[in-house]
């Protein structure tokens, strides 16, 4: 993929008053932001929220959501990390709380990467940690390769960085389902699919196995209140269909030939963590191949988690991230 060029438009930051009270001594999951911002990027303005205080010794961490067309909502349980560093959440252009110009010209990988850099510049951070999930992992990888000087570390979670690898993986997972379910999914992906009453349950069976398992905890009252307040216009199916396609099992959009695996050799493997759930759509075997292509990289597997492990196993997910971020900060101090 072509790496992003310098934005032609000036980057500006306009603050929106936050409704939050003073930062608590110990940040809480799903808490209100310390500050909110609308950041000018190519194509429009994106909504950004920050919890915690920025210090040079503990670089901020930015969470990059999946999709394309998703929102930041799944990361609300990670705001407790703000007791040690600034935590940045944002919605990509055309989703959630951000503006929706609905211009297909904006739906390019390089623009989404430049969007992330615009946020860093607007907030005035020198370096930050990246946590990208699913489609967000591709953006984190692209950013780390393009802006190594601003990347404290990169966590590629629920790892999508290559459409061919992803499609191969999901089709292998289909074959691990009961034979009747697998046959229905394969039929539903054909040119002559059966009726929705067949395809709906079959697709749901895949998601229950690999993307939101039935034993996941119910959302807390705080999570439900947060989602009601900060969902904005929510998921953008138009962006998802245009860039990916109608299902997880086949890509027909602009990402159909996307493959960022060559970038793995360009990033600092010693500052790269791959993170997946035990039952993730991003198959452990595939992600292990990515680890091998990134000398020095590490792999964390969230026990019992699927692709939705941030919500299914929030405590262990937070613990893994907290330990990783602290270790990366300590390693940086040793080199200075």
Domains of the chain: 13-335 (3.40.50.1820)
Give pTM, 2 decimals: 0.91
Say what the pLDDT of residue 266 is: 96
Q: Which residue in 91, 280, 286, 329 is the catalytic one?
A: 280
The question of whether 307 is a catalytic residue gets the answer: yes
* pLDDT in the model for residue 29: 87
pLDDT digits (tens, 9 = 90+) for 285-302: 999 999 999 999 999 999
Q: Are 306 and 210 in contact (CB under 8 A)?
A: yes
CA gap 187, 189 in Å, rounded: 5
Residues 6+ apart with CB under 8 A from 84: 52, 58, 322, 325, 326
Of these residues, 134, 157, 162, 306, which one is catalytic? 134
Based on the residue annotation, tell me whether 26 is a catalytic residue of this protein: no
pLDDT band at residue 27 under the 50/70/90 scheme: low
The answer, yes or no, to whether residue 18 has pLDDT greater than 70, is no
pLDDT given at position 103: 98
Q: Cα separation of 160 and 170, whole Å?
A: 11
**88 by DSSP, 3-state: which?**
strand
In 10 A of CB 291, how many CB atoms? Answer: 20
Residue 305 pLDDT level (bands cut at 50, 70, 90):
very high
pLDDT digits (tens, 9 = 90+) for 153-210: 999 999 999 999 999 999 999 999 999 999 999 999 998 999 999 999 999 999 999 9
Please, what is the angle between helix 179-188 and helix 196-210, to 10°? Answer: 120
Length of the chain: 336
Q: Does residue 8 surpass a pLDDT of 80?
A: no
Catalytic residue among 31, 95, 307, 329: 307
Please say if 134 is a catalytic residue. Answer: yes
Q: Which residues contact 235 (CB under 8 A, 6 or more apart)?
A: 67, 69, 70, 71, 95
């Amino acid at each position: 993929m072509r790496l992003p060029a310098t934005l032609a438009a000036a980057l500006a930051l306009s603050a929106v008053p936050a409704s939050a009270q003073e930062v608590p001594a110990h940040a809480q999951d799903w808490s209100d932001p310390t500050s909110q911002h609308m950041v000018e990027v190519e194509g429009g303005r994106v909504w950004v929220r920050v919890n915690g205080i920025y210090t040079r010794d503990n670089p901020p961490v930015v969470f990059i959501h999946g999709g394309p067309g998703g929102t930041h909502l799944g990361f609300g349980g990670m705001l407790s990390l703000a007791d040690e560093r600034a935590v940045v959440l944002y919605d990509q252009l055309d989703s959630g709380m951000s503006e929706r110009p609905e211009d297909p010209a904006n739906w390019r990988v390089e623009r989404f990467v430049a969007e992330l850099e615009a946020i860093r510049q607007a907030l005035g951070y020198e370096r930050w940690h990246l946590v990208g999930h699913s489609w967000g992992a591709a953006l984190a990888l692209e950013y780390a390769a393009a802006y190594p000087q601003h990347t404290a570390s990169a966590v590629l979670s629920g790892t999508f960085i290559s459409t061919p690898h992803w499609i191969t993986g999901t089709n292998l997972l289909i074959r691990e389902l009961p034979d009747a379910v697998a046959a229905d999914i394969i039929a539903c992906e054909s040119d002559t699919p059966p009726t929705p009453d067949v395809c709906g349950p079959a697709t749901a069976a895949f998601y229950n196995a690999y993307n939101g398992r039935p034993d996941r905890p119910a959302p807390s009252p705080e999570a439900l209140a947060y989602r009601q307040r900060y969902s904005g216009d929510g998921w953008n199916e138009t962006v998802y269909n245009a860039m990916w396609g109608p299902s997880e099992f086949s890509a027909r959009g602009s990402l159909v030939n996307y493959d960022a695996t060559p970038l793995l050799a360009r990033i600092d493997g010693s500052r790269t963590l791959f993170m997946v759930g035990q039952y993730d759509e991003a198959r452990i075997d595939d992600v292990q191949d990515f680890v091998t292509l990134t000398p020095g990289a590490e792999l964390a597997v969230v026990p019992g988690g699927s692709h939705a492990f941030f919500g299914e196993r929030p405590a262990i997910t937070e613990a893994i991230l907290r330990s990783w971020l602290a270790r990366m900060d300590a390693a940086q101090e040793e080199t200075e």
